[in-house]
Amino acid sequence: MKRVHLHGFLSLSLAAALAATVGCSGGSGGGSSTSVPSPTSNVQAIEVNTGPTAGPPYNLPYLDGAFTSVTVCVPGSTTNCQTISGILVDTGSSGLRILSSALTLSLPQQTGSNGSPVVECFPFVDGVTWGPVQTADMTIAGEQAKSLPIQVIGSSNFSTVPNSCTSFGLPLEDDLASLGANGILGIGSFAQDCGTACTQSGASNPGVYFACPSTGCEITTESTTESISNQVQNPVTLFATDNNGVIIELPAVSGAETSVTGSLIFGIGTQSNNALGSVTVYTVDPSTGNFTTVFDGITYQDASFIDSGSNGFYFLDSNTTGIPVCADATFWYCPSSTQNLSATNRGLNGSTGTVNFVVGNADTLTANLDDAAVNGLGGPNSGLFDWGLPFFFGRNVYTAIEGQNTPGGQGPYWAY
C-alpha cells in the first residue's frame, strides 16, 4: 500500500478503501500463543486470496492482496509468542503494523525521553493507521528481527486521536473492516517509515509521532520528534543476514482465479535462491522511492512506483475518449473490451524497459466473489502511476533497501 511520502513526505495502497467493494486475505485473524518456529529458510509462503474479511460478519472479499503470517514474541521470549495470519505483504511501505484486535500478547510500550508513551499516526493514500509504538521480536520463515518497533493499530488505550492526526483529512483504518487485513508487513525501499524528517523539529517534521500523556492522548496533543532507531522499522533490515531486500515471486494469472500461491524471499544475492540473475535494475529516487514511467504521452517523472499493497494498476488514461470508468465504482476502469497497453519504466540509473499490461472490465473481472487473484484491474489516478499487485503476476520482483549493498549496487532500487 503506497504511503503518502514521508521520505519526501509518506506510502500504502488504494486497497483498503477498495475492500468495501473487493476485500483482504490470509486466514482468519489472530491465533493462539505459540513458540518461535525453528529456522528453516529465507522463503516465506504468500497467498493471494479473499482474506480475513471475506466471511461473516464483513462479507468483503479482498481482491489482489498478497497475504502471509508472522510470529511475534515478547522481546527475549521464545514461548510467549503468537502467530498472526492475514498480514498484507506491502512493498509500498516500511514497518510491521498489527491490529490490536488480532494481538493477544502484551508487548512493551515505547516511551519518549520524558517517559510518555509514543503513539503513531501513519498516513497512507486512503487512510491513516493510529496506535502505539510497541516492541516485539518478529520471526518469519527462518529470519528474526529482534527488538523491532511496530505499530499496534486501534489500541483501546489510545482511543483519542489528536487533531493534528485527523488534519491529514483521511479516514481512520483502525479495525479489520476498515483495514481489510490483520496487519501490514511493510518491506519497501526504506529502512524506517519516516526517516530523518521525523527527527527534526518544526515545519519540516511531517507530524506522525506523538508523545502522549500516560492517561492517553488528547485532541490537543502535538506531534513530537522520533529518533531513527525508535521509528517503526522495516524488519528486513534487522535480520542477521538476508537483510538487503526482498523478492516476491507470483505465478502468471490469466483473467481471474480463486487464489494463487507464491513466495516472499529475503535477501538479494545472499544465498543461492536469491541471486539477481539477468533482471534489469531500476534505481529510484532515494528521497521518494519513485522512478519514472512514460505512458500514453505522459511522463510520470519521479511519480511512479511498484507496490504489492495496491490491488490494481492506477494511472490516468489521457486518450481523447479515455478508458471509461465503471458506472457503479468510478475508482475502476470498465472498458467494453480488454485493453492491451504498454508503458516504459526508467530508473535514475538510465535503465529503461517496456512493460506490456492489460486493463479489463472490472465489473466482469470481479463478478465471481470467490476470485481473489485478478489480472487486469485498473483505475484512474491523476499524477501518479501505481504498478500494483497485478504487475507481480508472472514476474520475480526485487525490492532493494536504501543503503544496503547488493550485487546490483546499493539500494534503493527495483529489479525485474
Nearest to 416 by CA among 390, 398, 393: 398
Q: What is the DSSP letter of 233?
A: B
Q: Within 13 Å, how many C-alpha atoms sit on residue 351's CB side?
A: 14
Q: What is the pLDDT of residue 5?
A: 44
What are φ and ψ of residue 155, in 5° steps? -65, 135
**What is the mean pLDDT, run by run of 10 residues, along the chain of 416 residues?**
45 34 34 52 97 92 97 97 98 97 97 93 92 98 97 96 92 95 98 96 93 91 96 98 98 96 98 96 96 94 96 80 88 95 98 97 95 96 94 98 98 98
363 sits in which H/E element: helix 362-365
Backbone phi, then psi, for 223, in 5-degree steps? -70, 165
Q: Which three cell numbers stand for residue 329?
A: 465504482
For the entire predicted model, the pTM comes to 0.91
Annotate 84-128 with three-state secondary structure: EEEEEEECCCEEEEEEHHHCCCCCCECECCCCCEEEEEEEECCCE
Q: What is d(CA 2, CA 12) in angstroms, rounded to the nearest whole number? A: 3
Q: What is the largest CA-CA distance in the chain?
A: 62
In this prediction, residue 1 carries a pLDDT of 60
Q: Where are the alpha helices (DSSP H) in 2-55?
A: 15-18
Distance CA 332, CA 312 (A): 9
Cis, peptide link before residue 251, omega less than 30° from 0: no
- pLDDT for res 27: 34
DSSP assignments along 140-182, one per residue:
ETTEEEEEEEEEEET-GGG-PPPHHHHTT---B--SHHHHSSS
* Residue given cell 499524477 in the structure block: 383
Where do the domains of the chain lie? 2-238, 274-415
Identify the CA nearest to 207 among candidates 168, 172, 150: 168
